Structure formats: C-alpha cells, structure tokens
C-alpha cells in the first residue's frame, strides 16, 4: 500500500517578483524619478506608486508575473540558501553542513563567514551567471534561515533549525543574516528571510495544524529568536507559517504580524506567507486532496482578509494579482492596503540596488567561478560541527582518535558509508567527498580499507510531494492534470479534465468524472517533476480493474495489461537527476467487467538500504578497527515527513550488535538531522561521533576527526532523549510539560551542550565584576579555561542562569551566554562574557509585561548537565 503522507509545499520553488537590476543605458530610457538613485527611497516609491495601477502593483508583488513592461520592471527569481546557494539547481555551488550541524559548532563568527560566502556566491551568480528563463537572473532574496525551535525530535525539519534553545537559535540566525546582508553603507548584499513565523513544528498536519501556546511561552521561548533576528540581524524578509496560532492562521494573524513583528519589534521589510498558505484558508481544499484551515468562502475573501489585517506584503501564489484586485473593486479592501504591501516589498528591492544601474553594485565584478570556491570554509565548518558523543576506553585507552600507524586494515561499513547526506534545501556541489572516500584518501596505501556495501530492500511508496511538482494550477499550486476519456485507449480530445493533488483513487459503482458515460473509459494523469536529489528512484503503481501505462518523458516505464481482480503492485527503478525536469504520465484504462477500478501511484526516493546480510560481520572479524557509518537520511526526515520511529532502523542495530561482539574496536559515525534515541548504542559502542549532514566536505571532516587531525569541539544544540515515551504528545506545544533542557525532567541520553574532546579542560577563576547589578545594567564575568591534556583543542564556555525566586513556569536554567575558545595544550585562556540584565526577565501574565526577579544564580560549565562553577547576583 502507498504510505499516505502530508504533502509538502516548498519555498524552494518560489520565484519572487520584481527586483531586476539593469545596465545604466537601459535605465536611461525610462526617464522617471523612480530610477534616479540619488533620490531617497521614499521619494522613489512615491513616484512609482503614483504611476502604477492597482493591477500593476499586484503584479509587482506576486510570484510568477510579467512585471510592468512599460516601465522596465522585470521579474526576478527568489530562492533558498539554508546552508549554501540552492537556486537555480543547475548552477553548482558550495554546500555547507546542514543547519543543525552549524549550530553544533557553537561558533556564530564562523556562521557569519558562511553567510558572507553564500552571499558572495549569490552576487556572483546574479551579476555574472547565466540568464535564466524569461530573462530572470539568479536570486538576491532568500527564504532562509529556518529558526523554528526544535522542540520535539519527531519533527521532520529538525535538521533545518538551530536546535532547542532560543539564544542559540537567535544568535546563529543573526550571524547568518548579517553575513548574508553585509555591511555596505548603501546597499544590502542580499536579503535574508527567517521563517516560519511561528511554531511550525509538525509536518503531518502542516497545512491545517494549530499551535495552542500561551503568550507567556511565546514571549519567553518561541519569539526570542525571531526578535533577535529582526532587532539585531535587521532581517528584511519574514515568512509566516502554515499553521494557526491559537486558532488564527499565521498568514493573517494581525496580532502576530502587525502588532508584534512590526509594531513591537520595528520590522521594516516585507512579509510573505509560506507557499500557498493564503489559499489554504479558503474552503474546499479537502476535496482536492489537501487539508487547510478552510475559513473563507473564496479567494476574494481570503485576499481581502490579509490586506485588511495588514499581514502579507508579498504573495507567493497569484492571489494579489487577481482576487485582491477584485476585492478592492468590490469594496472589501482598499487600494491603500495594497499600496502598503507594494511599498514594503519594493523598498527591499531598492535597498538591494536592483533598480539602480548595475555598474554601481559593489559586487558586480565577482566571477561566476566563485560559486564553488569555498571548500576550505565548508571543511572548517564540517570539522567544527563534529560532536564526539562518547569515547570509552578499549584495553585501557580511549578508542578515538584511531592511530593510523597501528592499523593494517580498517573495515568501513554501514548504510551511510559511501553516501554523503546533505539534508534538505541543499544545492549542487562539485567533487563532494563521502565518508568512505575521505577515509581512503586519508589512509592512502598504508592501510587496507575493507568496504561492504549495504544491501537493498523494498520500502513503502510515497506520493510525490508538492514541492517537487512544477506543473501548477492558476494559483501556483503543484498538481497533476487529469484527462478523462470515454474512449478506453485515451484517444482523441479529453471529454473532461480537472486537477488533483496526487493519484490515489478507487471507483466502484461511480465514475471518476461527470463527463464519463461508459463502463469502459480511461484516465490520463500528467505532471512535471524535479527530483529532490539525484539517484536511483523506484516508481510504483498499484492498480486493479484495468490496464495501466507509466511513462517518463514519453517513454514507457511500466506496463500491465492484466485483468487484476485485486490491488497489484508494479515497480521499476529509474535514475533521476536533481538538475532535470521530468514529465510523468500515468494512464489507467478500465475494463468493462471490472467490479472496481482503483489506482495509486508513488515513488521511493534514493535512500540507504535497510538490510543487514552478514558481510559486515566477516570484515569486522578481519579488521584492526571498524568504522560503521550509520544513521538516517532525508528519506526518513524532511519537509512533509515527520520521523516515524525513534533510534536507528532495526537492521542497523542488529548489524551493530554482531559487529561489536566480533570487534570491540568499533566506532559509530552517525549522519542524521536529529537525535538518535538509542540507549543500546550508548551502552555497547565505545565511540560515537555525530556528524549530522556535514556538507560537501563531510568525508574529509569525518576522516580528519577519526584519526585525530581534527580535535572535535562541537556541542549538542538539543537534548537527546532515551525514548519518545519521555516526551509529551507531539502536538502539545506546552514547554513546561517536559520539553528541552529548560523543563525536561528525565535522564537524557545526551544532554544539551554535551560534546567531548581528545583533550581535557578545566574551568576556574569565575569572577563577576559585581554581585549587585542594576535593572538596566549588565552582568560582566570572566572564567579561565585551561587545556590540561596533550593536544590543542576547542572548548565551549556555556553560561546558564537559574532564577532563585518564585515565578510561574520557572525553567531549570536558561542559556544566556556562550563562547567557543581554542586553547593550546598546557595553556590557559580567559574568556570574558557579558549578559544584559534585561535578558533575564520573564513575562508576567498579570501585568502583560516583562519583569525581573531579585536573585539569579550564574552557572558556568561545558554542558547543561556539567556545571563547573557558580555564583549569585542580585538585581537592584
């Protein structure tokens, strides 16, 4: 049976409007003040606003539009840059570690350098890359970063976030945004867009879910990262979430967007909804295979609602281009509300210099070859992201680092051994290095590498997610086009047609469409697909009651002419390229005597196989050491797919049980975008290295770490629980019920902030500048970090605060400052940190305002469960 999953809608497919820089000669033909770059931005907006009709303004702030040709306003393509430039797909670019790995570096300065590198690549592509379809250039506005709190390991997009802590999320988002947007006095380098505002933490009900969250928890836990990204990072774009917040969809939540984001935090950029989220507020989506909030009767009402609520400025479907204009003409919304959205969006384009002569751009000469040039930085970040979870002694000595000179043979096994998982929203790398290749390159001819490929098994077929479908309806939603014929062989013109979300139907006495008048008929489904990753896919169809044909780019892939009385599956493997678009066609022809006609179509994406056959055990017995590269992949966790099971797949655990018994010198390297809940692993495997999805240089980073050239210094950005049974229900957003290190009351598998090193550190000499501070003051502290081991290494000083007074929903402790510091063997470094007293405040539900307590305990350590030093401050 086809596994039913929530359909994804990917912002990566968005193609935003406007913003297309022109040469000075071309601008000169439009002699209007808007193109006079010496005028202020508001003067230029005043001029353009007065010249455009409502219809033209709608075009300028709507996806997939012709712009305003009479004034030279052309379309522009927006994109994604979560951990590297990922649009357009056919331009290779540097692929950095996935976000959860970046957060594990605890190094926001390196994160900022990554943002600067990505924006360099974006500008090089924009100015000197190929011209895209319909004159589009590469993007300069990006729907990144993702700063939704990773509150639950079951969330499929945990990999895209920066962990479970508000400060860590906010600091990394701010560093990324600052790197992306640059520090030029006149122009934004690019515009970054944190998302999804707010509480977007479930994929199975992502279109219609509702997060019930108190204002207190919003203020203290869910909001801070966004607030920091806006106030410190000066983010110019914010994307709202699909879900509702306390019963009101985020896309038209006036309190959330107008009152808090703009009113309180002073956001001055443009707001867009997640792809199709406006449409999902209208009725009838359930009948079309989608699930939305279904509040408004039609698109006109939905368009009027977001204009009147002053939430959205940019429309990523086509509702501002069509229905918003109808709403204005019908008196349901005003031209002024559309103009507000228009000015907010265009203002960012002017700040990017996209309507100024291209010759003025500070980045106009960056070469297109720059796009793949940041491999050293990708390696640095991958190495810094490595988290050594465990390193127990074998024969009296910690297993890691492995001593190359003492090895003759090394076994490299596991489903991810020769696979480099990038994670979601990834670009296309040149010369990526898998763990196997990295280990072979490191060892050279000195050590024999015994490799056993992981075997293949058949897995569930899933519907093709909407984010991979490029056939769109008139509102920009990814669909299949269905054509119905009274002719059984699908000949001639269709007698009826409609759009559907996916192919999953069953008809008995009824017919699939009102145009069908015969017992023998045919249905043809067509769509265009861009695969999420390159590799070997399995396309499959289950059907009964007729004949079927599946075609890819017009060539038959699957045929069956049997009269199947029950559902029968047919599959075929096919190699698909993530840089290409494929036409999929499914034809189903019902036989006259068939009592039921049913069909389901889907695919199985490339993934590590899930079967242990025993070859691993044989090489483990022969080898001096075993490197088992385990974990999961985007086949198990990603946008539209929440995790279905905790820990490792069963076959992986079974293999490890045999291998560890045969060879205790076994180290497990894990690639995953979230925690791996496995007490067995911790109790039985001596060394565990968490590599996350490490980017294009992942194989080199893993090898360098295993053999000691890189001393791991990464720390966990989220709590690893022993079992999901220790967690509240997935859809419960109340943090006080045991979520994150703030409130988790069970023993963790590995704690927030945990991470080991190949050397030893001590912390001492905690000094507070004063134990009494004013409410508008700062807590200034210093601590000495000494490397007492024999190798250089990095340690992360983590400063937590515990409230020593009574208040509601009091967390155990909160991270309030941190710094990663490099210390040479036998040396010491003094780390100075500062905390604004105002950052210690809590939300008082009675006064509806922030309040401070009188006493706070300052806790300093290298993990949330390993506090070394404490002191107390009083707030006057």
- DSSP annotation of 221 reads I
Alpha carbons 614 and 454: distance in angstroms, whole number = 10
- DSSP annotation of 468 reads G
Residue 3, Cα to own-chain centre: how many angstroms? 23
**Closest by CA position to 637, among listed 603, 670, 682, 607:** 607
Helices (H), 818-858: none
804, exposed or middle or buried, with CB in 10 Å at 0-12, 13-18, 19+? Answer: middle
Alpha carbons 623 and 633: distance in angstroms, whole number = 27
Alpha carbons 694 and 867: distance in angstroms, whole number = 29
Q: What residues have CB less than 8 Å from 721, skipping those under 6 apart?
A: 153, 675, 677, 727, 744, 746, 748, 749
* Distances 328 to 321, 337, 339 between C-alpha atoms, Å: 12, 9, 11
Alpha carbons 328 and 334: distance in angstroms, whole number = 5
Alpha carbons 876 and 772: distance in angstroms, whole number = 7
User: Among the options 120, 274, 313, 356, which is catalytic?
Assistant: 274
Alpha carbons 718 and 868: distance in angstroms, whole number = 20
Positions of E strands within 193-276: 210-211, 237-240, 244-245, 248-249, 270-273
Alpha carbons 667 and 418: distance in angstroms, whole number = 16
Describe the crossing of helices 698-706 and 375-385 by its angle, rounded to 10 degrees: 50
The SS3 assignment for 49 reads helix
Alpha carbons 742 and 758: distance in angstroms, whole number = 29
Task: Using DSSP bridges, classify how beta strands 849-851 and 842-844 pair: parallel, antiparallel or unpaired.
Answer: antiparallel
Q: Using an 8 Å Cβ cutoff, are 394 and 686 in contact?
A: yes
Q: What residues have CB less than 8 Å from 28, skipping those under 6 apart?
A: none
Q: What residues have CB less than 8 Å from 469, skipping those under 6 apart?
A: 478, 479, 480, 527, 528, 529
Positions of E strands within 194-306: 210-211, 237-240, 244-245, 248-249, 270-273
Q: What residues have CB less than 8 Å from 611, skipping those under 6 apart?
A: 454, 455, 456, 457, 651
* Distances 218 to 174, 183, 221, 841 between C-alpha atoms, Å: 19, 31, 6, 14
- Max CA separation in the chain (angstroms): 88
Indicate if 274 belongs to the active site: yes
| Cross-sheet strand order for the sheet of 535-544 | 504-507, 597-604, 535-544, 568-576
The SS3 assignment for 258 reads helix
- Return the HEC string of 306-374: HHHHCCCCEECCCCCCCHHHHHHHCCCCCHHHHHHHHHHHHHHHHHCCCCCEHHHCCCCCCCHHHHHCC
**Residues with catalytic roles:** 274
């Amino acid at each position: 049976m086809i596994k039913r999953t929530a359909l994804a809608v990917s912002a990566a497919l968005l193609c935003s409007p406007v913003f297309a820089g022109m040469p000075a000669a071309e601008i000169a033909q439009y002699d209007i003040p808007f193109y006079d770059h010496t005028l202020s931005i508001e003067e230029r907006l005043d001029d353009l606003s007065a010249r455009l009709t409502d219809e033209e303004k709608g075009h300028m702030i709507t996806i997939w539009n012709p712009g305003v040709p009479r004034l030279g306003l052309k379309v522009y393509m927006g994109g994604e840059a979560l951990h590297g430039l990922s649009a357009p797909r056919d331009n290779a670019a540097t692929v950095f570690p996935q976000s959860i790995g970046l957060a594990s570096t605890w190094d926001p300065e390196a994160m900022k350098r990554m943002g600067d590198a990505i924006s360099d690549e974006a500008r090089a592509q924009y100015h000197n890359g190929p011209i895209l379809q319909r004159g589009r250039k590469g993007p300069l506005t990006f729907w990144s970063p993702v700063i939704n709190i990773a509150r639950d390991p079951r969330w499929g997009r945990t990999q895209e976030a920066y962990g479970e802590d508000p400060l860590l999320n906010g600091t990394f988002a701010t560093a990324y945004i600052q790197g992306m947007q640059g520090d030029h006095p006149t122009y934004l380098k690019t515009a970054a867009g944190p998302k999804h505002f707010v509480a977007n933490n479930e994929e199975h009900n992502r279109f219609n879910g509702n997060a019930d969250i108190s204002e207190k928890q919003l203020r203290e836990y869910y909001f801070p990262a966004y607030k920091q990204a806006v106030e410190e990072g000066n983010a110019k774009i914010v994307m709202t979430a699909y879900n509702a917040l306390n019963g009101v969809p985020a896309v038209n939540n006036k309190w959330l967007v107008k009152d808090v984001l703009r009113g309180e935090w002073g956001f001055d950029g443009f707001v867009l909804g997640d792809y199709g989220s406006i449409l999902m507020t209208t009725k009838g989506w359930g009948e079309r295979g989608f699930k939305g909030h279904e509040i408004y009767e039609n698109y006109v009402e939905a368009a009027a609602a977001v204009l009147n609520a002053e939430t959205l400025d940019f429309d990523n479907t086509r509702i501002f281009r069509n229905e918003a204009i109808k709403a204005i003409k019908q008196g349901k919304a005003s031209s002024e509300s559309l103009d507000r959205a228009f000015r907010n969006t265009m203002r960012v384009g002017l700040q990017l210099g996209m309507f100024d002569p291209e010759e003025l751009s500070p980045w106009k000469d960056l070469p297109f070859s720059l796009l793949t040039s940041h491999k050293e930085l990708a390696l640095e970040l991958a190495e810094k992201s490595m988290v050594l979870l465990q390193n127990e002694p074998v024969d009296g000595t910690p297993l890691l680092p492995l001593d190359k000179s003492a090895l003759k043979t090394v076994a490299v096994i596991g489903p991810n051994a020769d696979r480099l998982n990038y994670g979601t929203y990834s670009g296309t790398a040149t010369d990526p290095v898998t763990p196997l290749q990295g280990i072979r390159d490191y060892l050279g001819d000195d050590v024999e590498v015994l490799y056993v490929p992981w075997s293949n098994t058949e897995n569930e077929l899933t519907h093709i997610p909407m984010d991979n479908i490029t056939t769109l309806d008139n509102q920009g939603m990814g669909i299949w086009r269905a054509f119905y014929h009274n002719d059984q062989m699908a000949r001639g013109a269709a007698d009826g047609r409609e759009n559907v979300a996916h192919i999953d139907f069953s008809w008995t006495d009824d017919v699939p469409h009102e145009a069908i008048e015969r017992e023998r008929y045919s249905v043809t489904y067509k769509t265009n697909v861009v695969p999420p990753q390159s590799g070997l896919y399995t396309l499959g169809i289950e059907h009964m009651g007729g004949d079927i044909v599946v075609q890819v780019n017009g060539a038959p892939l699957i045929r069956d002419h049997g009269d199947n009385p029950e559902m029968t599956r047919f599959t075929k493997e096919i190699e698909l390229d993530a840089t290409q678009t494929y036409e999929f066609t499914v034809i189903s022809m019902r036989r006259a005597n068939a009592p039921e006609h049913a069909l389901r179509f889907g695919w199985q994406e490339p993934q590590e196989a899930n079967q242990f056959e025993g070859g691993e055990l044989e090489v483990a017995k022969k080898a001096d050491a075993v490197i088992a590269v385990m974990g999961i992949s985007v086949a198990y966790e990603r946008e539209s797919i929440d995790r279905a099971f905790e820990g490792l797949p069963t076959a992986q655990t079974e293999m490890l049980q045999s291998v560890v018994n045969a060879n205790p010198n076994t180290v497990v390297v894990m690639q995953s975008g979230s925690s791996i809940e496995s007490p067995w692993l911790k109790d039985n495997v001596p060394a565990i290295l968490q590599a996350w999805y490490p980017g294009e240089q992942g194989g080199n980073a893993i090898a360098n770490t295993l053999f000691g050239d890189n001393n791991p210094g990464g720390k966990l950005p989220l709590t690893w629980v022993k079992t999901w049974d220790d967690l509240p229900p997935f859809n419960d957003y109340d943090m006080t019920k045991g979520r994150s290190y703030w409130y988790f009351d069970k023993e963790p598998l590995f704690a927030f902030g945990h991470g080991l090193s190949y050397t030893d550190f001590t912390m001492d000499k905690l000094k507070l500048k004063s134990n009494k501070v004013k409410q508008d003051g700062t807590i200034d502290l210093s601590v000495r970090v000494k490397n007492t081991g024999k190798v250089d290494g990095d340690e992360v000083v983590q400063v937590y605060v515990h409230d020593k007074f009574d208040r509601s929903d009091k967390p155990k402790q909160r991270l309030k400052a941190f710094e990663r510091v490099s210390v040479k063997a036998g040396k010491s470094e003094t780390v100075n940190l500062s905390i604004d007293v105002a950052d210690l405040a809590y939300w008082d539900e009675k006064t509806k305002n922030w309040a401070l307590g009188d006493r706070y305990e300052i806790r300093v350590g290298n993990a949330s469960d390993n506090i070394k030093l404490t002191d107390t401050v009083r707030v006057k």
